[in-house]
Amino acid sequence: MAGVNPVPLICGALVFSGVAVGLVSFAPAQESGGAAEGGVESYPIPGTAFESYSPIGEGFESPIEPLADLKGPKPRVDEREARLKAARERSPLSPFFRDTELKVNSRTYWFDEHSFDLTRPRALTTGGYLSYQSGYLANVLQLRAALYTTQPLYASEGAGATLNLTPDGDQITVLGQANAKLKLAGQELTVGRQLVRTPYINPFDVRMIPLTYEGVMLVPERHG
């Protein structure tokens, strides 16, 4: 078998290493510093569509050097909330009744899945929730409740696998939240059936009705 000359291979390796070093040396710095430090800052991920922000908008709203002062998600300002808050402050009612909130949310969900077991659960459902939240009594006690429902408009065989209906494909109506919140010594104690938002225990709100949990939760008091 003919021998292999190692010189071209070594030269080729050196050339490749030189190109790699050149690429690394000219790569832009990915540090968290501002534009003055040569760093690149990224836009935070918006929590809602109203908070979404585009670099195009920044070009119209920012100074000549926009990278020197990058904006985060653009907050949504609802003037009705300010007017409602001012009207509440003028009300003679106690905060427990004055700050009461009733909300109605409507949802419609089309689910169509090709499962690995070759089934195809499909369902068109409508519904939503009706929620109640009182104001604070003596700045200590608050009551909350939420009624959820999902009603089938169309359901194929095996539609219960969509998790938007019962295993038999029927509607679901449930009192998903019913709890009391107490503010004591800089802490918030919530007792009853409630939404929990943590990385491991959360509402899994990708279906018509979120997951709720019954128990006791103690967290530091939130302000604002």
Which residues fall within 8 angstroms of residue 133, CB to CB, at 6 or more apart?
A: 100, 101, 103, 142, 143, 144
**Beta carbons of 53 and 73 less than 8 angstroms apart:** yes
Q: Write down the domain spans for the chain.
A: 79-220
Structure tokens at 77: 């300002």
H/E run at residue 188 = strand 187-194
Taking only the tens of pLDDT, the chain with its 224 residues reads: 445 454 443 343 333 333 333 333 334 444 444 444 444 456 667 777 777 766 666 655 555 555 555 566 667 778 888 888 888 888 899 999 999 999 999 999 999 999 888 889 999 999 999 999 999 999 999 999 999 999 999 999 999 999 999 999 999 999 999 999 999 999 999 999 999 988 888 999 899 999 999 999 999 987 75
Tokens of 36: 């003055």
Phi, psi of 84 (to 5 degrees): -65, -40
Residue 116 has what DSSP assignment? T
Alpha-carbon gap, residue 31 to 17, rounded angstroms: 25
List residues bridging with 178 in a β-sheet: 145, 193
Rg of the chain taking only CA atoms, in angstroms? 28
Rounded-to-integer distance, Cα 182 and Cα 50, Å? 32
The pLDDT value given to residue 35? 41
Q: How far is CA 130 from the centre of its chain?
A: 20
Q: Residue 150: what pLDDT?
A: 97
The H-assigned helical ranges of 91-181 are 95-98
